[in-house]
Amino acid sequence: MKEKKDLAQRIGHYARYLKTLVFIRRLLGITSVAAGVVMIVMPVHSSVFWIGFNAFCFSLILFVISRPLVGAVRSVLEGAEALQALCEDCDAGDALYKWREEHLLADWSEPEVQTLLRNQIESKERFLDTHPFIKDRESYLARFHALLR
């Protein structure tokens, strides 16, 4: 239980961190464009031109440097979300398996098992959404959808 809470907190932390980095990167892009316009408008011997030149160079360098940082935070966030989806899928599978062990001769049309199957399908779909390298998505979900009918 504590691991799930820690993972959810870490995902929230990385999501906020990513939003902040993307916002700063956009500001750097806007700053470099504005400084470039100032450089075009002002004559070369003007001090405003050189201020615009320095702002342009500085913001452009930071803009380029921020790209790998944003990519790294995005990949860590995607990995944490994939791990959370895997944990949810395992928990839903375990709940369904425990019910099957306790009710060997029960009917699959009972409301309790239908809820467990729906939870299993939802968690499996989220797992497949966060793991795009799995190609045969339909075969994973078809067996659970067949049980709901």
| High-pLDDT (> 70) share of the chain, % | 89
Residue 34, burial from CB neighbour count under 10 angstroms (0-12, 13-18, 19+): middle
pLDDT recorded at residue 128:
83
| b/e per residue 95-127 (b: at least 16 CB within 10 A) | ebeebeeeeeeeeeeeeebeebbebbbebbbbb
> How confident is the model over 19-63, as pLDDT tens digits?
999 999 999 999 999 999 999 999 989 899 999 999 999 999 999
Please tell me the distance from the alpha carbon of residue 79 to that of residue 131, in angstroms, as a whole number.
9
Q: Which SS3 state, helix, strand or coil, does residue 88 take?
A: helix
Helix locations, the chain, DSSP H:
2-41, 47-102, 111-130, 137-148
Does residue 134 surpass a pLDDT of 80? no
Extents of the domains making up the chain = 2-148
